[in-house]
Each structure stands twice: as C-alpha cells, then as structure tokens.
Amino acid sequence: MDFNNLPRHIAIIMDGNGRWAKRRGLPRTSGHSAGAENFRTIATYCKDIGIQYLTVYAFSTENWRRPPEEVSTIMGLLDKYLHEAIERMERDRVKMKFFGDTSVLSPKLRALIERTAEISSQYEGCQVNICVNYGGRDEIIRAAKRLAETGVAFSEENFAGEMYSAGIPDPDMIIRPGGEMRISNFLLWQAAYSELYFTDTLWPDFSKDELNKAIFSFQHRDRRFGGI
C-alpha cells in the first residue's frame, strides 16, 4: 500500500456487530460495544496515516425497527463514546461532525452531540463524520425541501450544498465489512463515483491491516468517471 497516494475520503458501513457477538455466544449488545471500540481504533489510525475525511454509518433511519432494548443500548453507547471523546479530544485532535436527523434523539444526547461538534471544531487534521439517524433518502428529501424554501435553482451544485456533506469531497471509497453487498441507504447522493469495497470480516474484527488491504485495493482501481 502506498502511503503517498491515499484516498482523501473514506466512508465505512460499520456492519456485523450482532453476528460477531452471536458467534461468541454473547448478547448482540456486546457486539455493539466491540464495534464502538473498533471505531475508535480505526478513526485514530485514519488520522495517523493522513486520511482527511472519514464518514461512518453508526445508526440508520431504518435501525429504529430493532427491538427497543437494542436501540437504547446503541444510544447509550453513543452517549458513552461521546463523553470519552470529549475527554480525549486534546490527544485525539479530530474534528467531529454528525450527519443525520438528530432532532428525534433525546435532548441529552442531542446536547452532547452539539457539544462534541463544537469543541472539536478547532481541530483540522482529520474530519470524522458520524452518521446517526442518517438515511440517504431522508437527506435528499431534506435538501430538496431546503432548496425549494430558498427558491434557489435545482442544480447539482446547489443540491450538494444542502447535503450534510456540504463542502466535503465525495467519498473516494465506501467500505462495507460484515459480508452484505448492499448500500443500505448510505450516502446515496455522494456515492455516485465511489469505489466500493466489501469484505466478510465483521466490523469489530476489521483491523488496521484490513483497512490497509482495502486502501491497497483502491489504489489499483482505474477510476474513469465516465471517461476513457
């Protein structure tokens, strides 16, 4: 893998936590804890090697269909993760942003999300976007509504400017661990020319080495963007 030719923006669908736990005879919730821990490892690694943007899918607009206990465990883990992230901010120095409709989350979690985004805004090294209650279709509808309200022309540029990702380059590569080969409503607009990478490795086992392998694969793709 060539460290001088890295993708600028990597996006990851952090999938497979439940199966990881099941294989170990553990409750699904342990899988989510292990997944959150791995997110920390991978985000730090991305910052260390010089990835400029990392976007991760943590909770989709469809994940509310899960049993309420599982949903509240995931929200609890997010709360815990954010408290720890604030404590470690000085050391980690990553800018954190949140994509998704946070208006339906608990006021406590919302406040924590806003606080994390605000105090991390001073850091420039790597920007980590965490997608919570995020859906690609929801994002597109929201952008359309905002454009209609402002009366601005419906151009690709204006549309992109109303996405959560406004001002950020599209992901060069979307990685999905966990064995499924689908997008599951992730970054539908931004994925237009992203290189897709799928692996059977479950998210809690997706190591730095696995990321290197994915980047290596990316570096050997021929990106034509419709040209020749």
Smallest gap from Cβ 18 to ligand IPE, in A, equals 3
13 forms beta bridges with 57
Tell me how far apart the alpha carbons of residues 201 and 118 are, in angstroms, rounded to a whole number: 34
Return the sign of the alpha-carbon dihedral for residues 103, 108, 113, 117. positive
Q: What residues from 6 to 45 belong to the interface with ligand IPE (CB under 6 A)?
A: 13-19
Residue owning tokens 């919570």: 132
Annotation says 15 is catalytic:
yes
44 binds, among ligand IPE, Mg ion, none (CB under 5 to 8 A by kind): none
Tell me how far apart the alpha carbons of residues 137 and 142 are, in angstroms, rounded to a whole number: 9
Tell me how far apart the alpha carbons of residues 181 and 166 are, in angstroms, rounded to a whole number: 27
* 77 touches ligand IPE by CB under 6 A: no
* 211 touches ligand IPE by CB under 6 A: no
Catalytic entry in 2, 17, 38, 63: 63
Q: How many CB atoms lie within 10 A of CB 15?
A: 21
190 binds, among Mg ion, ligand IPE, none (CB under 5 to 8 A by kind): none
Helix (H, G, I), strand (E, B) or coil at 184: coil
* 178 touches ligand IPE by CB under 6 A: yes
**Part of the chain binding ligand IPE (CB under 6 A), chosen from 36-44, 55-63, 93-101, 147-155:** 55-63
Q: Which of 7, 9, 10, 15 binds Mg ion (CB under 5 A)?
A: 15
Smallest gap from Cβ 200 to Mg ion, in A, equals 13
Annotation says 170 is catalytic:
no
Tell me how far apart the alpha carbons of residues 146 and 162 are, in angstroms, rounded to a whole number: 7
Tell me how far apart the alpha carbons of residues 8 and 226 are, in angstroms, rounded to a whole number: 20
Q: Which of 48, 118, 180, 200 binds ligand IPE (CB under 6 A)?
A: 180
Q: Which residues of this chain interact with ligand IPE, rule CB under 6 A?
A: 13-19, 57-60, 63, 74, 178, 180, 182, 184
